Amino acid sequence: MEDKKIYSNKICIATNSSCNLNCIYCYEKNKNNLEFDVDEAFNVIDKQLKTKTQFGTKIKLHGGEPFMVFPKIKQLCERLWANQYIEYYHFHLTTNGTLVHGPIQEWLYKNRDKITVKLSLDGDKKSSDINRPLSFEKIDITFFVKTWPNIRVNMTITPATLPYLFENIIFLHSVNINNIISHFAMMIDWKECKLERILREQMFKLADYYLNDPSIMPCHFFRPDIGNTLCKPLYNAACVRGQGEAYDYQTKKYYPCFMCFPALAGKKVSEELCSIDFTDTDKLEERCCLECPFINICPTCYAENYITRGKISHRDMGLCSYHKVIIAVLFKYEYARLMKVDNPDAEDVLKMKAIQKWGNEIESILSELDIVRN
Amino acid sequence: MKKDPKTLKTGSNKINSIKIEAALIETWLAKKSKTVPAKNKITGISDCPAPWG
């Protein structure tokens, strides 16, 4: 059963841009009814799998909603599985889940050890209806949890659903979803929303919840290794940064990642993104971010930075204060947790050293929210 | 045994009232710190931070 595995190589194959939903945060503005060609996709992947790597190849099938083109996906996968390759590979795709019933469920269940699905689910019915109306009732959550017990769920947070962050996370845990990848929706003016205090309250509630039951795997916000804040800036890569490849059936070309597809980024911006050397770390970040103690655990999408703000180094500073709140509560959570650990390991010791180093900054971040208000 | 999330009340940790105390950290490190080996993680290709990645 596939879990979060390490891969040596990643290839993303675009399958379609069509979708049966209309999520309020969707970045795919140029949807159409074009679909990938099975022969073409087969040839692209077949070429990659002729070389053996250390940890294998992740093949991401990227929509739209991929199950809009299920017959083709089935055909592609089965054709590849019929071959003998020296390279280990595994299929991944993200779905909104609303079309996964009947024959699709049967096929997925039968091949669950060769294909892993990530489910997009923004919380309970109330929040799902806010972000993506008329979707919640169509998702057979039980099937997904039964088929992949540690299924990863993408929970996208919008300004309207942020006040319900705690109850949404609790809901997901209550239906046995424990691998929750919580993200802020991109391309939104978060600074204007002024929701940092509400986020702090929601994060405190979550921290208490997880401290009271250490058997539950915390959501994504509580998983960064704060020990990495002791390392030099950009010690670990924030993203794939061109290490993978993404194939676009509409242009029949390769791109650094799917965010660089012309249908998403626009033709001109796509060309510009393709000319950027993402391995040049001097250009990746602005000085203010490089000087931030938390840069090593602060996520960003360089392509989204370029598409929205014109430079890969221009992070969404509207989200900066939100990320700081999350990181500050994470530090506090780790502090409370580690104080109860009898036999810490090396990683725990580094975490406590990080808390020792940044403790004052952490308290300032959390207390400043009250000062601004008063 | 895992608790039912629906019945679990927000607990008594009340993390918002916990203050990070330098003296406690020093005591903790002195008591529990071992020789820490250099970070030697197995790293493959990075994960995508985009929500749809």
The larger pLDDT score, comparing residue A256 to residue A125, is at A125
In this structure, what DSSP letter does residue A92 have?
Answer: E
Q: Chain A residue with minimal CA distance to B27? A: A339
Q: Which of the given ranges, A43-47, A68-72, A312-316, B31-35, has the highest pLDDT on average?
A: A68-72
Q: Which of the given ranges, A148-157, A236-245, B38-47, has the highest pLDDT on average?
A: A148-157
- The shortest C-alpha distance from B26 to chain A (Å) reads 8
Coil/strand/helix, residue A154? strand
Position A92 scores a pLDDT of 95
Please calculate the CA angle A115-A117-A122 and round it to the nearest 5 degrees. Answer: 175
| pTM, two decimal places | 0.90
What digits encode the pLDDT tens for the residues B10-37?
A: 445 689 889 999 999 999 999 887 655 5
Q: How far apart are CA A97 and CA A95, in angstroms?
A: 5
Using an 8 Å Cβ cutoff, are A243 and B46 in contact? Answer: yes
Residue A237 reports pLDDT greater than 70: no
Interchain contact, A174 vs B20, CB within 8 Å:
no
Q: Chain A window 141-200: which residues touch B at a Cβ cutoff of 8 Å?
A: 154, 156, 170, 173-174, 181, 183, 185-186
Who contacts A79 (Cβ-Cβ below 8 Å, separation ≥6)? A38, A42
Lowest mean pLDDT among A21-25, A60-64, A306-310, A329-333: A21-25
Confidence band of A17 (pLDDT split at 50, 70, 90): confident
Residue A73 reports pLDDT greater than 60: yes
The larger pLDDT score, comparing residue A51 to residue A282, is at A51
Residue B8 reports pLDDT greater than 60: no
Residue A283 reports pLDDT greater than 90: no
Q: Mean pLDDT, chain A, as a whole number?
A: 91
Confidence band of B39 (pLDDT split at 50, 70, 90): low
Interchain contact, A241 vs B19, CB within 8 Å:
no
Position A2 scores a pLDDT of 45
Query: With an 8 Å Cβ cutoff, is B51 touching chain A?
Result: yes
- The shortest C-alpha distance from A156 to chain B (Å) reads 7
What digits encode the pLDDT tens for the residues A165-178?
A: 999 999 999 999 99
Q: How far apart are CA A372 and CA A365, in angstroms?
A: 11
Element (H, E) at A117: strand A115-120
Q: Chain A window 194-213: which residues touch B at a Cβ cutoff of 8 Å?
A: 204-205, 207-209, 211-213
Tabulate helix, strand, coil % of chain B (nearest 5): 25, 0, 75
Write the residue in B22, B45, B50 that is nearest to A244 by C-beta.
Answer: B45
Residue A292 reports pLDDT greater than 50: yes
Confidence band of A1 (pLDDT split at 50, 70, 90): very low
A-chain residues near B40 (CB < 8 A)? none
Residue A279 reports pLDDT greater than 90: no
